Amino acid sequence: MALAAPTFAQPQIGGGTCSTASLNGKYATTMAGRQVSSSGTFSNIRQANGVATFDGLGNVALSLTANTNISASQPLKANGTYNISSNCSGTVSIATGDPATMNLVVYNQGKAFLMTGADDTLNLSLGGTLQPATCLTASLSGVYAFNGNGFTFNGTSIAGVTEVSGLLQFDGQSKVIANWNVTAGTTMSTVAANGTYAVNTPTSCLGAATLADSSGKAYSLTFSITDATGADFQLIGSSSQSSFMGTAHSSFLNPSQSVSNGASFKAGETAPGSIFSIFGQNLGPNPAAYSGALPLLDTLGTTRVTVNGNAVPLFYSGTGQINAQMPVHIAPGLVTIAVTNGGATSNAVAVMVPEVAPGIFVNPDNKHAVVINPDSSANSASTPAHVGDTVVAYFTGGGPVTPSGAWNTGDASPLGQSPVTEDNSVAVNGTPAQVIYVGLTGGSVGLYQANFVVPQVAAGEYPLVINIGGVASPAAFISIAD
């Protein structure tokens, strides 16, 4: 009888291999540690979260915050080495702190890992997910559902196990409200508390919160953000009589996704100087207000929008939508955006401002690009362009330009040509077009244009894409006739 071949010797369709270099960067990490006595009861526990940093060369550093049955919110740091074989498994040897040897498994193309092992006291289980590059306090905004499990304490002794679930509501600025349920054995209780929170530094994506309930009982949370939009995070929590760990997720669309490019309506694609839109509830006046002159006003009706605390110019303000201009000279990266309507201020949100993010304006059918034909008619199925025509497409998010004059936030862009500084191209149905000009539309605010010659394509409706600095716009359609 033939023996089955080992799993790792099987032929493989697709897939790939791993190496030590597969783990490289900062990973949001949780740790669970348990010591069980000879009688089968928990004698010591550890719950921790923070960052594991792998250098891709075989060195790893852990920087965590830990809760135990002895103490809470204590720093836990350790260094060691790791190796990963081609089948994505390996080992980790921790030499400092509490020495430990652990098994290591890598998954999701090196974006996540699992570890199990033991130190001198505890059996350990760790998991990590590649951390976002940058975060702000406003990265946590809105309502999050969370759940977890933990332990209750009697002094420093472990009294029992718990399950927790509930809601955390962050205002994006510093305040948090918490409501969660605790099940300990057959007993159920509710925690209602409020307090303050912060994300520690823009590069760590780690944060902490301190809360108290109506009786003054204190709770501490630490969390590590695992999603670039702030939609998910890991957390540990503690009080004088308990500790728990778990995960949290936005209950609705993360609020940062409600701030978008004013043409493509893609979140996180609002470049400096471009038009952006904010969607929500009770944002502005009813009836809506429009800015009727230049320079644009930074207050419409009762509405103001701030970016990093500074008011920005507004095109339109209504109850469910605001259109504004991102400051021309703001540095790319994460920014904090908030809306004030009368005396009420919205939750703040963290929004990524890329250097370039072209978005083509579309007609009310949400399909056809805003393109002007040579005879000044708007391009459409009934008024198409022809091969060889020079047409003009309008977009926003073109990024930096070489201005022909003063280019100021909220005011008309300079007349004459102000071309974008990045390499650019235009394609119709994937066919490159001859580009005449890509840059600011003089006399407008936040508006760019691409003048190009319609390439050789058959009659029909085709996707139009503008590429600037290697960043392609979402496609919008242009109509071409014979």
Which whole number is the average pLDDT over 251-271?
95
**CB burial readout 342-364, b (16+ within 10 A) else e:** eeeebbbbbbbbbbbbbbbbbee
17-130 CATH choice from 2.60.40, 1.10.3470, 2.40.128, 3.40.50? 2.40.128
How far is it, in rounded angstroms, from Cα 236 to Cα 172? 20
Looking at residue 180, what is its pLDDT?
A: 96
Which whole number is the average pLDDT over 258-285?
96
Looking at residue 36, what is its pLDDT?
A: 78
How far is it, in rounded angstroms, from Cα 183 to Cα 188? 5
Segment 71-116, tens digit of pLDDT: 999 999 999 999 999 999 999 999 877 788 999 999 999 999 999 9
When mean pLDDT is compared across 37-46, 202-211, 270-279, the lowest value belongs to 37-46
359-481 CATH choice from 2.60.40.10, 3.40.50.9100, 3.30.420.40, 2.70.70.10? 2.60.40.10
CB 112 within 8 A of CB 129: yes
Looking at residue 185, what is its pLDDT?
A: 85
Which whole number is the average pLDDT over 256-262?
96
Block residue for tokens 């836990």: 76
Is residue 5's pLDDT more than 70?
A: no
What is 255-353's CATH number?
2.60.40.10
What is 137-250's CATH number?
2.40.128.120
Is residue 6's pLDDT more than 70?
A: no
pLDDT band at 1 (very low <50, low <70, confident <90, very high): very low
Is residue 41's pLDDT more than 80?
A: no
- Which two three-digit tokens encode residue 31? 């740790």
Segment 323-338, tens digit of pLDDT: 999 999 999 999 999 9
Selection from 78, 77, 26, 88 nearest residue 226 by Cα = 26
Cα angle 414-290-395, degrees, rounded to a multiple of 5: 45
% of the chain at pLDDT higher than 70:
97
Sketch the domain layout of the chain as residue ranges: 17-130, 137-250, 255-353, 359-481
Looking at residue 482, what is its pLDDT?
A: 82
pLDDT band at 40 (very low <50, low <70, confident <90, very high): low
Is residue 3's pLDDT more than 50?
A: no
Which whole number is the average pLDDT over 170-183?
97
Is residue 397's pLDDT more than 60?
A: yes
Which whole number is the average pLDDT over 414-429?
97
Looking at residue 86, what is its pLDDT?
A: 94
pLDDT averaged over every residue in the chain: 94
Rounding to the nearest 10 degrees, give the CA dihedral for residues 38, 39, 40, 45. -70
Looking at residue 337, what is its pLDDT?
A: 97
* Fold match flag (17-130 vs 359-481): no
Q: Residue 106: how many CA atoms within 13 Å on its side-chain side? A: 27
Q: How far is CA 185 from the centre of its chain?
A: 38
Looking at residue 389, what is its pLDDT?
A: 98
Q: What is the pTM of this model?
A: 0.89
pLDDT band at 8 (very low <50, low <70, confident <90, very high): low
Q: Which amino acid is at 27?
A: Y
Which whole number is the average pLDDT over 173-195?
95
Which whole number is the average pLDDT over 208-223?
96
pLDDT band at 4 (very low <50, low <70, confident <90, very high): very low
How far is it, in rounded angstroms, from Cα 174 to Cα 196? 5
The alpha-carbon radius of gyration of the chain (Å, integer) is 28
